[in-house]
Amino acid sequence: MKQLDYAIVMNLNFQDEQMPNDVNLQLKNLRALIIANFQLREDLTELQSLAKKNIKIDGSAPGVPLRETGGSNRRCNSKLNYNYFGDTVFFDTVYRTNRYRVPFAAFTGVNHHGQPVLFGCALLLNESESSFIWLFQTWLHAMSGQHPVSITTDPDRLIQVAVAQVLPETRHRYSKQGIFRETQEKMAHIYQSHPTFEIEFKKCISETETIDEFESSWQSLLKRYYVMDNEWLQSMYNARQQWVPVYMRNTFFGEFSVTDGSRDINSFFEGYVNASTTIQMLIKQYEKAVASWHEKELKADYDTANTMPVLKTPSPMEKQAANLYTRKIFMKFQEELVETLANPATKIEDLGTIHISRGQIWGRTQGTYC
């Protein structure tokens, strides 16, 4: 195997009878991987000390931190990335089902170009509650104990326990795409017998503007398809404040809008790591993903610094935003600005310093705003 100059070899036992011998040999040699790409010089002593503190008495541990050699460049350094963009975190375990049953997880965020940025990733020995708690504690310590404002994960009970214990002040949200995937699995019979259910279900979640509108739409959906007593839907309704957008508008999640369904939490390694990725290939694919996103960020930096967007309105606000925002963020701002100019607002009440207006979109009454 290729020599890894960023591997920290610890004296741990990772023998697993369910794994092929060659994989156990690799795991024994590597001793486990938590790829957190920490700063090369400054974090080495801290990382070794951290690993020792998490070794269990029987000589085993859920995982041991490693890092990628990135020098002090922020783009290759999870800790500095987190200092800039760590308000919101996506914790991805979508690759947990791989051929060797070695769960792979990643902590990612969103940078100033709306691109995914890596805060750390890990290979775990198992998916036990203690492993997830250990992982969150280890990662949080590596990030200097700085708690994020919000975190998005798959709807998993063990992860929920770990987040509640390690990040009690952080707003925990379930991935909407994860909810949609599990709903399709749990209610396959409804999806097959009623093709319109999926469309109406997603519309109820993503297009409702207020809590009352969501509640009404949800009840109508259950009655229309005779699923009032469905246990899965009832459990999801009970947890609605952790995944339905209308309940989370007071929290920052790093998306362009709370109804944005285009970003799933696995976007950093998408196209590089999948269920068939071997242990041997994981490091190479990891490095390719980091390099690829580095190049994309450099290109976005260049485009922002050396080009000017085409303005679509005479608004001074648009011109100012073009000089302040990165190109991707400005394009989203411009889209919203142009749309507001096409949406007439009618004043319906004046309470002195408070003006209440009703807006419309494409002839449809949208809502009342102060």
pLDDT at 224 over 80: yes
Of the given ranges (43-52, 135-144, 171-180), which has the lowest mean pLDDT?
A: 43-52
| Element counts in the chain: helices (H) and strands (E) | 13, 10
Of the given ranges (88-92, 200-204, 302-306, 336-340), which has the lowest mean pLDDT?
A: 336-340
Give burial (CB, 10 Å; 0-12/13-18/19+) of 349.
exposed
Which residues touch 276 (CB under 8 Å, ≥6 apart)? 98, 99
CA distance 131 to 158: 9
pLDDT at 167 over 80: yes
User: What pLDDT is stored for residue 13 in this prediction?
Assistant: 37
pLDDT at 130 over 80: yes
Q: What single-letter DSSP state applies at residue 182?
A: H
CA distance 52 to 50: 5
Percentage of the chain exceeding pLDDT 90: 51
266 falls in which pLDDT band (50, 70, 90)?
low
pLDDT at 187 over 70: yes
**Joined tokens for residue 304:** 């922002």
180 falls in which pLDDT band (50, 70, 90)?
very high
Mean pLDDT within 340-368: 61
Mean pLDDT of the chain: 76
User: What pLDDT is stored for residue 241 in this prediction?
Assistant: 95
The answer to whether 277 and 98 are in contact (CB under 8 A) is yes
Give burial (CB, 10 Å; 0-12/13-18/19+) of 82.
buried
The answer to whether 138 and 50 are in contact (CB under 8 A) is yes
Helix, strand, coil percentages (3-state) for the chain, rounded to 5, are 45, 15, 40
